[in-house]
Structure 1
Amino acid sequence: MKLTTHLALILASLFPLVLGYWGQNSYGATHTSDTANWQKTLSFYCQDNSIDAFPLAFLDVAFDTGGLPSINLANICNVNDDSVFPGTDLPNCSFLASDIQACQAKGKIVTISIGGATGAVSFTSDAQAQQFADTIWNVFLGGSSSTRPFGSAVLDGVDLDLEGGSPSHWSAFVTQIRSHASGASKKYYITGAPQCPFPDAYLGSVINAVGFDAVYVQFYNNYCGLQAFNDPNSWNFAQWDNWAKTVSPNKNVKVYIGAPAASLAAGSGYVSASTLATYALQTRSQYSSFGGVMLWDASQAYANGNFAASIKSALSNGGTSVPATSPPASSTSHTTTTASSSTPSPSPTGGSCGTVAPWVNNVAYVGGNQATYGGHLWTAKWWNYGEIPGGNSFYMSSACLS
């Protein structure tokens, strides 16, 4: 083994090689009837060494009833199905404390992810952002509060997955978290999950202003996704590597390849485990900022055979990957439909869609956003830009009633 390769492996071992978002039950969203493979509790995914870090997704409301944030962990714990702290909309998920602590005991990193496709956390001033950072520190991290949703568990940091709202004042938030963590008895991480188009609309100014430990770049649902890995005009990891080395305040920041963990986990960008492993190894050999692979999400990765294990094995062993096993039979029993390639006509006005704005091609739509087009009401499944409703899998539709 060359010395440079050996050094790269040593440095990589200081960071998670594979991380998987947990909390949104992505598999359940795409396989509604296959409840046996829906998202399990966190400790289930910590039983082996496939995934090294888990951002808990998502904290999607900053200031709700009682002045506290709210979190939504889909089928595991949310404001609609579980008990909340009195006078607030913050779910009491303290039953997850033992799960989190069990994962941490295995050396895994567990953070809280703020934002998400439907989250729109924004601030009006630096002071408000700093106040929110104080709340996050006391409710989730090393501070103290009577309203800690994960009980005695102390999370390992904050992940920013900003896909809505305003990017203003977030640098003040990060700086305040760093101030609290300074001199703490444990390491606290600050990470972000920008879209691959550079610069990212919501996180670009933030990651330029304050140091992040890692960015989990979402190389999916965009022209620069993994499907374009061999297209030098679209695949832009080089831009992110250059940012890490020349712009980021933390010149040791790590850049991750964010990837869908199954074919239905995203609208585009999915590649097989063996292909992703090959791409990751090639990227690591070219760019010293490479940190590892981020998967969306843990539930999809588990249902898709040994997907996460294969990636982890390849990165750990320098090239030898474990072939992905076939997913359970029940996880593949879905019907694929092909949308018509014809261009829908403009949306009518009036009826049940009368109060919803028509779709336009120069606006980014995030999950949950609605627009009218071709006589239908369209609801975005995830972030997209310029994708015409009806010609792809980015939207769900329902007829406009007259």
Structure 2
Amino acid sequence: MSPHKRSIRFWSGAVTAALTLSLAGAAQASAADINNSTNAGFESGLTDWTCSASSGTTVSSPVHGGSAALKATPAGQDNARCTQTVAVRPNSTYTLSAWVQGGYAYLGATGTGTTDVSTWTPDSTAWKQLSTTFTTGASTTSVTVYTHGWYGQAAYYADDVSVYGPDGGGGGDPEPSVPGAPSGVSVSGTSSSSVSLAWSTVSGATGYTVYRDGTKVTAVTGTSATVTGLAASTSYSFQVTATNAAGESAKSTAVTGTTTATSEGGTALPKHAVTGYWQNFNNGATVQKLSDVQSQYDIIAVAFADATTTPGAVTFNLDSAGLGGYTVDQFKADIKTKQAAGKKVIVSVGGQNGTVSVTDPTSATNFANSVYALMQTYGFDGVDIDLENGLNATYMTQALRALAAQAGSSLILTMAPQTIDMQSTSNAYFQTALNVKDILTVVNMQYYNSGSMLGCDGKVYSQGSVDFLTALACIQLEGGLAPSQVGLGLPASTSGAGSGYVSPTVVNNALDCLTAGTSCGSFKPSTTYPDLRGAMTWSTNWDATAGNAWSNAVGPHVHALP
């Protein structure tokens, strides 16, 4: 978070270009088209499939559809390649698709007689569909379709393979029919900002989509979901649909869920919020008391809590001397004043030089207890996790859940990972965010000091552009975080970071692109996310140094989002 953060490794364009595989455009299907793949869902074990080096087996969990899926594990110089020969017609176009999960997964076809094709995805904790198309040559009557992983990576899972197009005469699995609408939809729980839903399993369904007041808000593979980012003491209407490869069902009967009042008499966080880091030190930026922090900031993250000699434990020491004699009593009083004005004040743990380490049950307990003690002492509303030197997902999750058990449902929990930390759901930071999704307020990824990165479309984007913000936010949105849990973190001025500063106009354009599909660059998300939480900046002090140009432009824009 500091102005001169350490350099981090990044995906270069050259490396990415070496991995990027062709993805042909979608083709028109005809009424006679079928899925020419056999045993496409691995319901008959590995019948019709051959896996290299005995790398494949079938499992009953996780599955995308039916009761089985392929699990293939790369080992040594073997990439766990599983193949099937599929009968096709000459001079015909086919759509090849499969659902994958786990480690790096590739899908492709060879022997097409024209241009062989393939596509891939980095590792994923949720099922993701890969799809590409190919055209057969004048004498091509069969092709080989394959899946494989990548050397040294985790096992991948594959299910519901489809080679969809004209009947090649080799048989094929029957196409599924559109599932029926879910029944038994009910509200299973509520909080001041969320409603949990449950429903009955629908035969033939591979996933479910949840709608809030007619707008799609989340998609899941199970029969329950929690919709977050809601206003307190507000009623919402929910419906659920069932989906599979054949399409989406009609909507279920609507149910109404009403959020509870904000606990402990506090003020609910607005639907769209602006987060600003307040510096508990003087590094050349404008020195502020908390009372000086601009009114546009809804969440003020006090930077930083420091490690103690006790493993996992943290403490906070106000830099009174560096802040011109600002006293602890004034600081505490200013926290209460900000809270009375509807703001949340939290303590941030870490920063560039932070050395907090939570790596076992004892340090997890120490972390939770010490953060809660700071909340009690100063009146903080919660905690921000800004650990830029790595974290352990298992024990940080344990620590945050222990803290939530003490603090209650009013806890504000934010995170500020670097871009590299959110490139894949297998990364510890991303895993932690998903592990605590039910209590997580927002992840404000730092879109700076990072170099080039992969977007959710597999292309490389350089920092400093609208595309960099939107295509990287897309990874989090498609990777499992709710839109209300995603914020864009940017420097308030060129002095606020070593690189990556963009004008407030670029920030606002990215917000509009993600929430409404307007003002996009070359990348445009496949859907809009009107519940996107908002934006964050480092820092309120650098913002003040620059005449509050950032908060005066981005703040009103965030608060005016749909």
Shorter-chain TM-score tier: 0.5 to 0.7
Report if the CA contact (8 A) 1:23-1:73 is conserved. Answer: no
Aligned twin of 1:216: 444
Aligned twin of 2:509: 278
Which residue identity is paired with 2:316? Answer: I
| Distance 1:50-1:173 versus aligned 2 partners, 3 A rule | same
The 1-side partners of 2:436 and 2:384 are apart by: 14
The 2-side partners of 1:103 and 1:204 are apart by: 31
| Distance 1:318-1:128 versus aligned 2 partners, 3 A rule | closer
| Distance 1:221-1:75 versus aligned 2 partners, 3 A rule | farther
Q: Deviations over 1:66-109 (max 9, x none)?
A: x963335557669xx999xxxxxxxx834311111111110001
Corresponding position: 1:141 with 2:375? yes
Report if the CA contact (8 A) 1:16-1:53 is conserved. Answer: no
Corresponding position: 1:227 with 2:449? no
Structure 1 regions of 5+ residues with no counterpart?
84-91, 143-147, 320-402
Report the number of matched residues: 276
| Distance 1:190-1:23 versus aligned 2 partners, 3 A rule | same
Corresponding position: 1:304 with 2:546? yes
Which residue identity is paired with 1:193? Answer: A
Q: TM-score w.r.t. structure 2 length? A: 0.44
Aligned twin of 2:419: 196
Aligned twin of 1:266: 497
Corresponding position: 1:256 with 2:482? no
Q: Secondary structure at the match of 2:345?
A: strand
1:4 Cα shift? 8.6
Q: Find the partner of 1:59 among 305, 326, 347.
A: 305
**Between structures 1 and 2, the one with greater strand share:** 2
Q: TM-score w.r.t. structure 1 length? A: 0.60
Q: Deviations over 1:256-311 (max 9, x none)?
A: 00000001211222111222222222222232452101010001111222320211
Corresponding position: 1:42 with 2:290? yes
Which residue identity is paired with 1:181? Answer: A
Q: Secondary structure at the match of 2:533?
A: strand
Q: Secondary structure at the match of 2:496?
A: coil
| Distance 1:294-1:303 versus aligned 2 partners, 3 A rule | same
Report if the CA contact (8 A) 1:62-1:132 is conserved. Answer: no
Which residue identity is paired with 1:194? Answer: P
Aligned twin of 2:147: none
**Between structures 1 and 2, the one with greater helix share:** 1
The 2-side partners of 1:72 and 1:273 are apart by: 33
Q: Find the partner of 1:207 among 426, 430, 433.
A: 433
Q: Find the partner of 1:238 among 464, 470, 474.
A: 474
1:129 Cα shift? 0.7
Aligned twin of 1:175: 401
Which residue identity is paired with 2:296? Answer: S
Corresponding position: 1:315 with 2:558? yes
Report if the CA contact (8 A) 2:477-2:486 is conserved. Answer: yes
| Distance 1:282-1:204 versus aligned 2 partners, 3 A rule | same
Which residue identity is paired with 1:279? Answer: A
Report if the CA contact (8 A) 2:466-2:506 is conserved. Answer: no
Which residue identity is paired with 2:277? Answer: Y
Q: Within 5 A, what are the aligned runs for 1:279-358?
A: 279-285=510-516, 286-288=528-530, 290-305=532-547, 306-318=549-561
The 1-side partners of 2:230 and 2:403 are apart by: 28
| Distance 1:72-1:118 versus aligned 2 partners, 3 A rule | farther
Corresponding position: 1:156 with 2:381? yes
| Distance 1:74-1:116 versus aligned 2 partners, 3 A rule | farther
Q: Secondary structure at the match of 2:353?
A: coil
Moved more, 12-21 or 108-117: 12-21
1:253 Cα shift? 4.8
Report if the CA contact (8 A) 1:16-1:52 is conserved. Answer: no
Which residue identity is paired with 2:375? Answer: L
Report if the CA contact (8 A) 2:307-2:314 is conserved. Answer: yes
Q: Secondary structure at the match of 1:267?
A: coil
| Percent identity (aligned) | 24
The 2-side partners of 1:61 and 1:196 are apart by: 24
Corresponding position: 1:70 with 2:312? no
Q: Secondary structure at the match of 2:278?
A: coil
| Distance 1:181-1:71 versus aligned 2 partners, 3 A rule | closer
The 2-side partners of 1:270 and 1:72 are apart by: 30
1:216 Cα shift? 0.8
Structure 2 regions of 5+ residues with no counterpart?
1-212, 218-228, 232-267, 454-461, 517-527
Q: Secondary structure at the match of 1:268?
A: coil
| Distance 1:53-1:281 versus aligned 2 partners, 3 A rule | same
Aligned twin of 1:373: none
The 1-side partners of 2:484 and 2:508 are apart by: 21
The 1-side partners of 2:539 and 2:436 are apart by: 27
The 2-side partners of 1:318 and 1:204 are apart by: 26
Report if the CA contact (8 A) 2:349-2:384 is conserved. Answer: yes
| Larger-gyration structure (1/2) | 2
1:214 Cα shift? 0.9
The 2-side partners of 1:124 and 1:298 are apart by: 32
The 2-side partners of 1:164 and 1:82 are apart by: 32
Aligned twin of 2:363: 128
Q: Secondary structure at the match of 2:392?
A: coil
Q: Secondary structure at the match of 1:59?
A: strand
| Distance 1:304-1:221 versus aligned 2 partners, 3 A rule | same
The 1-side partners of 2:531 and 2:472 are apart by: 13
Q: Secondary structure at the match of 1:270?
A: coil
CA RMSD, aligned part only? 3.5
Q: Deviations over 1:122-171 (max 9, x none)?
A: 1341232123212221x2224xxxxx3x3xxx111111001125425111
